[in-house]
Amino acid sequence: MGNIFGHLFRITTWGESHGGGVGVVVEGCPPRLPLTEADIQPDLNRRRPGQSKIVSPRKEPDHVEILSGTFEGLTLGSPICMWVKNEDARPEAYTEMAEKFRPSHADYTYWAKYGIRNWQGGGRASARETVGRVAAGAIAKKILRLHFGVEVLACVIQVHRIQAQVDVERVKFKEIESNIVRCPDTAAAEKMVRAIERARRQGNSLGGIVLGIARGVPPGWGEPVFDRLQADLAKGMMSLPAAKGFDIGSGFDCVRYTGLTHNDPFRMKGGRVRTLSNRSGGVQGGISNGETIYFRVAFKPTATVMHEQPTVDVRGHNTTLKGRGRHDPCVLPRAVPLVEAMTALVLVDHALRHQAQCGPWLGKTGRPA
């Protein structure tokens, strides 16, 4: 049940970290969308391990193959199945974990729930599961871009205590991809890289914050009460491995304002309703207001550290465990395409839901066209 995400645009991810492969089934993609592996691969390349000196050295090419749902380069409207083969699995690095629970991993909780677990790299709980999300997210981003003019971006704005300055209205994809930490503030990026390298040498890890951005979202996307747009974005982000916090717009900083200073006043501009500020983060009452959507996702330091730590074994005995294997000293650089993917999946689902209920007769102003 927990492997399915979305309503009208729905994905089911499958596979384990050290199994034969990982993938996704996408349902609800509109027909006649131009789609080949070349549309998917760039985002998978940004997610894959081994891409730089500050991420996991596991060597996975992550070549995607579309198994169904397309014909002659166009989507059919039927389920799209995509898979990526696991080529550099090393289960022997996890032998000790068969008997011992890794601190702050899902080893114990999976065992407590199911009475069985795949201890090779964490199995289903591994971040390798996100291959399917990114592949599906690439389709969602293409739909948003071609049919709705929506741009989805994400970037690193903090690693440990190092903070970057980023303008959500002006930051560009090229600036984000200009360095290996995916931070468009070059001065901050250099400090971040040095901090991550230092943590790796010390056998330690660092956390940080990813900024998610969606520009060009029209007013009206989202649902009232339980399916508020920000609630679905929060669910999508908090479902990501290592995610520990989410806020949108002014977020937790809203407590520093008064109602008078926090409000986003309305004005007509260019023939449509605009706001003079954007502390709402582009969403009000759970529905998009036409301004840029922006939010922050906090990621914890990678749980695997190369130091001896107290733990418990499967027989209930106190013991110790030292981290082994190939792990990211900081998940942030590879988390950027994950945040983009989940953002796109939420938005395209709500776009289709909005069209299904309200139809094309509502213009971009939110009024009958």
Distance CA 78, CA 45 (A): 26
- Give residue 273's Cα distance to chain centre: 30
Distance CA 108, CA 191 (A): 36
Q: Does 3.60.150.10 match the CATH number of domain 4-358?
A: yes
Reported as a pLDDT band with limits 50, 70 and 90, residue 91 is low
Nearest Cα residue to 167 out of 150, 149, 184:
184
pTM of the entire predicted model: 0.95
Dihedral sign (CA 97, 101, 107, 110): positive
101-125 mean pLDDT? 91
Token code pair at residue 237: 């982000």
37-56 mean pLDDT? 92
Q: Is the pLDDT of residue 354 over 60?
A: yes
Residues 198-222 pLDDT 10s: 999 999 999 999 999 999 999 999 9
133-143 mean pLDDT? 98
280-289 mean pLDDT? 98
Residues 237-252 pLDDT 10s: 999 999 999 999 999 9
DSSP 8-class letter at 277: -
Task: Determine phi and psi for 188, rounding to 5 degrees.
Answer: -65, -35
Distance CA 208, CA 212 (A): 13
Report which of residues 339 and 88 the model is more confident about.
Answer: 339
Percent of the chain with pLDDT over 70: 95
